[in-house]
Amino acid sequence: MTQTKHTWTKEEILAIYNKPMMELLYDAATIHREHHNPNQVQVSTLLSIKTGGCPEDCGYCPQAARYHTDIEGNELMSVQQVKAQALRAKSSGSSRVCMGAAWRNVKDGPEFDNVLEMVRTINKLDMEVCCTLGMITENQAQRLAEAGLYAYNHNLDTSEDYYKDVISTRAYQDRLDTIGNVRKTNITVCSGGIIGMGEAVEDRAGMLVALASLSPQPESVPINALVAVEGTPMEEIEPISIWEMIRMVATTRIVMPNTQVRLSAGRTEMSREGQAMCFFAGANSIFAGDKLLTTPNPDVNEDMKMFKLLGLQPMKPFVKKEQPETVEAQYSKYAAQGEKPKWSRPGHKIERNEEAREKAKV
């Protein structure tokens, strides 16, 4: 059994990424079979519980308020709406619901209390619950854990070097600090990134070094391909080729043998053959539903046809770790602290972000 290694160097990872394709695929598929059932793929549903109006400046994101995109913002969904969507997801084969809110960071108060209630509600449906809500404190992570949260998503996005060309409103270290706060609880960590944002292959390797050196490594690593949305600073970037996606998935599988590697945004651009190669190379999760937060995603029926064609089965929930218990709000050990943590604002100028912001004003 391949041992997990936390001391990967960028050079070692680049050497894997750049192997001849057939060797890379063989190595990744071998490690995949040692640690996972290659015929099972987890189906997760991503639900945007609060869309748009985000104060951050992530260069790839149509939900940033400062860019002019055709995203329709909405207020936080109700617990009942979320429950109805979770039930629908469950009936179409999803074992996990990931709720995303376009927030910089979580603020204690009625909206967060509602999110905690959503977590309790979905956990009671015997589905894995994941949240992606921005930066969180240790106390907020403890409250989510108590509610029954299974995973918290907070992507590193790219390498620390290239991150400075993508986001100026918070630092890489803030991301790592949030992941550290999640790690102080029994919530699993979901953290990955986006390729095709104009970064060098060295940046992809740099991101994998950062993720693989976490101890423990993230239980889940989403690999997204940029979906360039009109109005965002990255609107003109051409889609990456499927071969880059396959190389990234295979390399991720080799450096993080135990993790769930998630094929995330960008699947609409991939053929079934391309996705099949990604599964062979070690991807074992997809997001279902016709939208991924705000960008297009294949229809769930199309995915089920692909599963049938490839003889894949949707994974059951709680295969990797047992279901957390839900503590009701009135029995909570962790009161809201109303903290105002000093998350950083580097505020350096990113030319393309500034240009997109100026264009949006016009």
Catalytic residue flag (residue 98): yes
CB of 68 to ligand SF4, least distance (A): 14
CB of 103 to ligand SF4, least distance (A): 7
The interface region with ligand SF4, picked from 55-63, 191-199, 275-283, 313-321 by CB under 6 A, is 55-63
Q: Which one, 55 or 216, has the nearer CB to ligand SF4?
A: 55
Q: Which one, 49 or 250, has the nearer CB to ligand SF4?
A: 49
Q: Give residue 139's identity as a one-letter amino acid code.
A: N
What burial letters (b/e) apply to 254-267, b meaning 16+ CB within 10 Å? bbbbbbbbbbbbbb
Catalytic residue flag (residue 131): no
In the chain, count H helices and then E strands. 12, 12
DSSP E strand boundaries for the chain: 40-50, 96-101, 128-132, 151-153, 188-190, 193-195, 220-225, 260-263, 283-288, 291-292, 295-296, 313-314
265 binding ligand SF4? (CB under 6 A):
no
Site size for ligand SF4, by CB under 6 A? 8
Q: Is the bond preceding 62 in cis, omega lying within 30 degrees of 0? A: no
* Cβ atoms 31, 202 nearer than 8 A: no
Site residues for ligand SF4, 130-159, by CB under 6 A, read 134
Residues 6+ apart with CB under 8 A from 330: none
350 binding ligand SF4? (CB under 6 A):
no
278 is in an annotated binding site: no
- Candidates 56, 146, 165, 199; binder of ligand SF4 (CB under 6 A) is 56
DSSP E strand boundaries for 212-335: 220-225, 260-263, 283-288, 291-292, 295-296, 313-314
The interface region with ligand SF4, picked from 51-59, 254-262, 297-305, 318-326 by CB under 6 A, is 51-59
- Candidates 13, 25, 47, 54; binder of ligand SF4 (CB under 6 A) is 54
CB of 256 to ligand SF4, least distance (A): 23
Q: Which one, 28 or 58, has the nearer CB to ligand SF4?
A: 58
The helix (H) or strand (E) run that includes residue 212 is helix 201-212
179 binding ligand SF4? (CB under 6 A):
no
Q: Which one, 194 or 261, has the nearer CB to ligand SF4?
A: 194
Q: Which one, 28 or 49, has the nearer CB to ligand SF4?
A: 49
64 binding ligand SF4? (CB under 6 A):
yes
130 is in an annotated binding site: yes
Cα–Cα distance, 253 to 255 (Å, whole number): 6
Cα–Cα distance, 257 to 212 (Å, whole number): 10
Residues 6+ apart with CB under 8 A from 35: 1, 2, 257, 258
Q: Which residues bind ligand SF4 (CB under 6 A)?
A: 54, 56, 58, 61, 63-64, 102, 134
Write out the catalytic residue numbers.
Answer: 54, 58, 61, 98, 130, 190, 262
